[in-house]
Amino acid sequence: MMIKIEGVEIEWAESKGRKLRLTVSPKTAIPCIHVPKNYPQSKALEFIKENIAWIKKHQARIEEKIFKKNVKASLKDGSTVSLWGADYKIKILRAKKNAGVAVDDDFIYLKEPPGADPKKRPSILNRLYKKELELYVEEILPLWEAKIKESASEIKYRDMKSKWGSCNSYTGIITLNTKLAALPCECAEMVLVHEFVHFKERLHNGRFKRYMTKYLPDWKERVKMLNSEEY
């Protein structure tokens, strides 16, 4: 159910956990209070009121991030997108037959045939991201396989909606989000190392974090960069 406190609509959800939790959805910016079973309603409402400033702050940040993503998704001529953390202007060019993408020092050129659907432009841009990420990973992969003493049977590249990377420790397959190529290269490297470390430790526990610090001492700063609202 939905409740409203100080003008903010908040989802009320029963939780199987033992602790009262507040979250703000990164996809919709909708706040949610997760209430354990039999938890006093009055205490839950008081907790929301005490944290309403936090809710508003994070909701505003996420709404701004969603807005920026929607602007980028439109990909009109003159739109700004990122490649390896640097801003590029989009130029829409007409292709005779097949769609394509190219880049120089200042522009990313999206080539599309006459009558093409503008909604397909993000998928054209994603071709560039995939190619760039593949080239970067090919360059750093031998270094990290030797350093961590783990190897991947295959590296896959996909446009994922909710993850920057994933791995299967049984098959040895690592999958990376092609959108990593939009961010500074330090982010892609951190995600790659993160997935390799999961070959040693499946959980995000203390052991996992010690491995990350051993191999990549500034990994926490890179995580902050990865989640920055600038990209």
Whole-number pLDDT of residue 16: 83
Q: Which tokens go with 155?
A: 């590296």
Q: What is the pTM of this model?
A: 0.69
Per-residue pLDDT of 177-220, as tens digits, reads 999 999 999 999 999 999 999 999 988 899 999 999 999 999 99
Residue 30 and residue 11: Cα distance in Å, rounded? Answer: 7
Three-class SS of residue 13? strand
In this structure, of 15-29, 138-152, 164-178, the range with the lowest mean pLDDT score is 15-29
Residue 181 contacts residue 137 (beta carbons within 8 Å): no
Per-residue pLDDT of 167-178, as tens digits, reads 988 899 999 999
Residue 191 contacts residue 215 (beta carbons within 8 Å): no
What would the DSSP string read from start to end of 33-91?
EEEETT--HHHHHHHHHHTHHHHHHHHHHHHHHHHHHHHHHH--TT-EEEETTEEEEEE
Q: What are phi and psi of 170, to 5 degrees?
A: -85, -40
